[in-house]
Structure 1
Amino acid sequence: MPGVTPAFTTIRLDIADQIATITLDRPDKLNAFNAAMLADLIAAFDATDADDGVRAVIVTGAGRGFCAGADLSGGAATFDYDASGGWNGAESPVRADGSVDYAHPAVRDGGGLLSLRIFASKKPVIGAINGAAVGVGATMTLPMDFRLASDAARFGFVFARRGIVPEACSSWFLPRLVGIGQALEYCYSGAVFDAAEALRGGLVRSVHAPDDLLPAARALALRLTAEGAPVSIALMRKMLYAGLGAPHPMDAHKIESRAIWARGASADAKEGVTAFLEKRAAVFPDSVADAWDTFAPWFDKPEYR
């Protein structure tokens, strides 16, 4: 059954042909990231995960920007989370003796909360980067499965130039995507670079004319998901990412064995084999939302949320 779409103030969520499109929608601010956008995006991914009518998710921006980074309207104290109350307005993590409780929720980086939520998505995620993607506007795209860019897009890991450091779990994602040398070059220099350079560096999958970007993202989403079982695709996404950090192939063997055992007896597996033998398109009956509780304990750890 389709899920209930929440009300948003900083994004739009549209669903058509089983593809959800999340549009960052603060065009007058080049879609700069703030606490409201963080909450909206997390709610949007909660909604797409719960909706079996959604097979894949595209994220793009309204207007000429994708996301210009953190909203700097707070001035010099923008990144002073103790002064600003952090992303959730929690009480201060500074103890009476002046030491900091780094385990306190108020310490957590808002971009990281978003990246972890995108990483946890049960549906493939495609970034359609239509314009400037700087700071968190660049790092929020790293846990997406694919990044397609307009030839008008610009990227920048500008943290050193702002006196801070990379966030949004980018110190984990970026070297895995582009290699450690390229990641260090992006971050040390803080340079803003164009889509052609992003393609050469392996940051994006492809570059498109502006009017072709969303159609290309939709075509990719449909090609990836049109014939596969949604539960299988959700599991594959988890399995392959988990494998990136596994110390030994035995870890993969354990997960794969469990998944083959569980899915081999499923209605999806019976339908997939029957459809192949009957030379027809498969109609997979299993629900990601209903099935996921079986598999979540294999991947989800409370300390990773």
Structure 2
Amino acid sequence: MADFQTLDLAIDSGLAVATFNRPDQMNTFNPAMIRDLLALFDLTDADDAVRAVILTGSGRAFCAGADLGSGGDTFDYDKRTGREDVGGPDRDGGGMVTLRIFRSLKPVIAASNGAAVGIGATMQLPMDWRMAAEDSRYGFVFSRRGVTPEACSGWFLPRIVGMAKALDWTFSGRVFGAQEAVEAGLVQSLHAPEALLDAAKEKALEMTSASAPVSVALARQLMWQGQTMAHPMDMHRVDSRVFASRGRSADVREGIAAFREKRDARYPDTVSTAMPDMGWAEERPFA
């Protein structure tokens, strides 16, 4: 188990629940959180006991944006220290996190328990299902801090909510309520604060408990990576290879046998050993 500084991690019944544990700072984002999140998804990808990942916060916030403890120097790369081991001085740490979530082999659910502002909102964009407490608030506040949208949000946000809403939120930098987030498609469901985590666990089990883990991992990558493709034929080339690989697998034989015998399937393949090569690089070079 990784030694996290900013997260508490509990793994039970196939679910990894990671909770930001800086409530006195409203779980604001710092270099230690970058390292912890990168390590978290390395850990969950490698652990075949984990079927899905839930990310939530402690206290009044999911993550209230960047830690502004350095004042006006907070976003000045020339004056940053303590992040040389997480991509160097010129790379956006939030973007590293979102790209790592994008590459996750397990479904990822956001259980947003309070303020989700700045990186607290943008890190949720590559997650597969976003749930929120009814009193949660969101904000893409970058223009009000003199910076620009980060963490690949210029790619993710318009795809999720449409260009007009993405521009409205990022131009104005206003903070808005969870109901508006649901209406725009940023959030899929609202819950009473005390019921949020249980609802997230229920959703995670609904997504994964009866499915083959390798098939889920591949479906996640096909759906997300498909967003980068220019033509359906590009996806056809990839999913044909993947489908053929799965068609020869022990999981298929078990899945069909279980269906015909009217019993629960016991899929033998594991994500750590049975993922086929899908033909794309994990991450393009950064320059």
Q: Structure 2-normalised TM-score?
A: 0.96
1:125 paired with 2:125, answer no
Specify the alignment match of 1:285 in structure 2.
268
Contact 1:86–1:106, Cα closer than 8 Å, also in 2: no
Unaligned runs of 5+ in 2: none
What is the alpha-carbon distance in structure 2 between the residues aligned to residue 296 and residue 73 of structure 1? Answer: 42
1:174 paired with 2:157, answer yes
Aligned partner of 1:75: which letter? Answer: G
The Cα of 1:88 is off from its aligned counterpart by 2.2
SS of alignment partner, residue 252 of structure 2: helix
The Cα of 1:302 is off from its aligned counterpart by 4.2
SS of alignment partner, residue 106 of structure 1: coil
What is the alpha-carbon distance in structure 2 between the residues aligned to residue 22 and residue 55 of structure 1? Answer: 14
The Cα of 1:50 is off from its aligned counterpart by 0.4
Specify the alignment match of 1:99 in structure 2.
none
Specify the alignment match of 2:97 in structure 1.
114
What is the alpha-carbon distance in structure 1 between the residues aligned to residue 274 and residue 117 of structure 2? Answer: 37
Specify the alignment match of 1:243 in structure 2.
226
- Cα distance, 1:301–1:137 mapped onto 2, change above 3 Å: closer
Q: Structure 1-normalised TM-score?
A: 0.91
Give the percent of matched residue pairs that are identical in Structure 1 and Structure 2: 54
- Cα distance, 1:228–1:29 mapped onto 2, change above 3 Å: same
Contact 1:35–1:88, Cα closer than 8 Å, also in 2: no
Q: 1:88 aligns with which of 80, 84, 89?
A: 84
The Cα of 1:152 is off from its aligned counterpart by 1.6
Q: Deviations over 1:23-59 (max 9, x none)?
A: 0110000000000011011111111000000000000
Specify the alignment match of 1:192 in structure 2.
175
What is the alpha-carbon distance in structure 1 between the residues aligned to residue 143 and residue 185 of structure 2? Answer: 22
Q: 1:57 aligns with which of 41, 53, 56?
A: 53
Q: Spell out structure 1 runs of 4+ moving beyond 6 A.
A: none
Q: Deviations over 1:90-135 (max 9, x none)?
A: 9xxxxxxxxxxxxx94211000000011111000000000000001
What is the alpha-carbon distance in structure 2 between the residues aligned to residue 143 and residue 277 of structure 1? Answer: 36
SS of alignment partner, residue 49 of structure 1: helix
SS of alignment partner, residue 59 of structure 2: coil
Unaligned runs of 5+ in 1: 91-103
What is the alpha-carbon distance in structure 1 between the residues aligned to residue 158 and residue 254 of structure 2? Answer: 40
Aligned partner of 2:65: which letter? Answer: G
SS of alignment partner, residue 236 of structure 1: helix
Contact 2:64–2:115, Cα closer than 8 Å, also in 1: yes
- Equivalent pairs, count: 287
Contact 1:86–1:107, Cα closer than 8 Å, also in 2: no
The Cα of 1:299 is off from its aligned counterpart by 5.0
